[in-house]
Structure 1
C-alpha cells in the first residue's frame, strides 16, 4: 500500500485515441472530492461495451469524441480519502460500483439512480474509466470485500450486478423456468444467477457448440442449438426469457417462448430497432422490459460469490498488463474466451 503523501502527480493509463488505437501514457492522477476515495486499481474486466467503443467509437448516443480511458469492471484498494470520509477506510480492498449519480433528479429521488440523466459512468464518454493506476469514486460506491474474494472476482461483481438486476426484473423465484439466449459472459453469469435465485429449469441457447457445453457447467439444465430447434414453437413455456445475445431473431423467438403473464428482459447489445411478436405480447400479457445498469446490487453480489453460489474466478480466460490492453479488447474474438482481465499496476 502507498501512503497518502506519496501519491504521484501522474499515473500510467491506457488511453483510447481512435478506433482500435490505444496508447499507454502518463496522465494526471485524478483529484478527489470530500466524499470520494482514491483507489489503486487491482483488476479490470473487459466488457462488451469496452470492445464496442474500441472498435466502433460509439454505442448509440454515446460517442467517443476525445481521448478516453476504458474499463468499468474493477476492484482495488483505497489509498486516500476525502475530508468527509473516515481515514480508517484507507487500505480497504474494495469492489467499485462505477457510477456517480446526481442525487437530486426525479429518478435519483425515487431510488432509480441507475436512470439518472446526469449520471457519470466509468468509460462512457466523456468519463474516464479504470485502465489506469488510480481512479476516484464516491465512498458509498467503494464496497468493502472479504479476503475470500480475489481481485478478479471482485472486479466481475459488476457484470454479476447486471445479472442480479436481470433476475429481479424477470421475477425469478424458486421453481421458475427461464430461457437465456446467448452463452457469452453475461449469459453464463445469468445462468449461474438464475440458479442462485432458485430457478428449476434454465435453458440456454447459443449457435456455438462449445459455448453450449460450457453453459451446462454453469447452471444450465438444458442447452439448445437454435438452428436445429425452432425456439418459438418448441413449447418451452418458460416464466421468463432473457436475451443476452442482441440478435433480433433470438429476441423474437424468445418472447414467443414465454408463457402467459411471463416476462422478457432484454440485456444484450443489439439493433436499436427490431420486430417483436406484438400479438403474442398483447394476447398473453407478456411484460417486455430492458435493463440499464443496476441499483443496490453489490451487497447481493458479494454474498453470492462469498457463499459459493456464483463462481466468477473460473470465468477468467485471459490476463493482460496495461501495455497489452488492446489484446485484451480483442480477446472476445476467440470463441473460448469468456472474460479478459487487465492489471494496470503490473
Structure 2
C-alpha cells in the first residue's frame, strides 16, 4: 500500500479543490481521481495524484489552504480512523492505535510516533511529502489530529508547542486560531504537536469496543486494493459506450469530464491513440465472448460494433492470426476441463 492513499481521503481533498474553485477539467486530468472510483472506500489512489491536487489547492488558497480540507473532514468523515482516537483507555494509548492504523487515511510511508516524557506528550511525524506540497499537507494532517484528540477527550486541548517542517512562516497567522497557541515554529526537523498533562486523559471508551474497532480496521486494510489506472478507466468507459451504441470520441471524453482535444492529448502522452484503445477493448471482449458463450460469430460482431462477421474476422486475424471459429475450437477443450475438474477434498 506504500505509494497510495485511500479514496476516502482523496475524495475529501478533491472536494476541497472544487469548493475553492479548481476547474473540474484540471482534476479530471489527474490519474486515479475519477469520481466513480472515489465512492469505493476499499480503493487506493496514487499518492502523487493527491500531491498534485494539493498543489492546485495551495495555488488558489495560499496560507491556511490545508485547513480548508480539515473543515471538509468532520467527525466520521474519515470513517473508522476517527473512532480509533477513543479506542483506548487513555488518550496516549488511543493515539498510538490511530497512528498504527494510519494506512486507512494516508500513505503508510508517513511515519508517526508518540513520545511520553514526564507530563509531556509529543506526536511526531517524519517529513515524507515533497517541499512543494509540504505546507498545506502539514496544516491538514496536524489540525485533523488535533481535532480528533479534542473530540475523543471532549476538551479543548491546546498544544504547548506546534512545529512544522515547512519554511512558510507567512502562514503563522492562519494557524494560531486553529491550534490555540502562538507557539508555532517553522523549519523544524519534524512536524510535532506537544501537549502538557494530556496523555493520561480518559477517552471514555469501552475496551471491548476498542478491540472490535481494531479488528475491523485490520480486515478493512486487508481488503483494500489499488484503484484502476487511467487507461483502465478509459477502457471501461469505451466498453460502456460500445454497449450503449454510443462509441464516439466526444461521448467518451464527456464521460471522463474531458473535451475531445484533451483526451487525444492524454492518449498521446500514454503512447497510444483512440483507434488503438478501441481495438484493445474489442479484442478483450471478443476473446471473452468466444470463450464463454455460444453466440454465433455474427452476433459477436454486432456486440462489438462491427457491421458484419467479415469485419470481425479480419480484425481477429490481425490480433491472433486465427479466425474466430478456430479460436473457439481451440478454447473448447480448456472450457470442458474447467467444467469437469474436481477439486481434491
Q: TM-score, normalization: structure 1? A: 0.23
Q: Answer with 1 or 2: which has the greater Rg.
A: 2
Q: TM-score, normalization: structure 2? A: 0.23
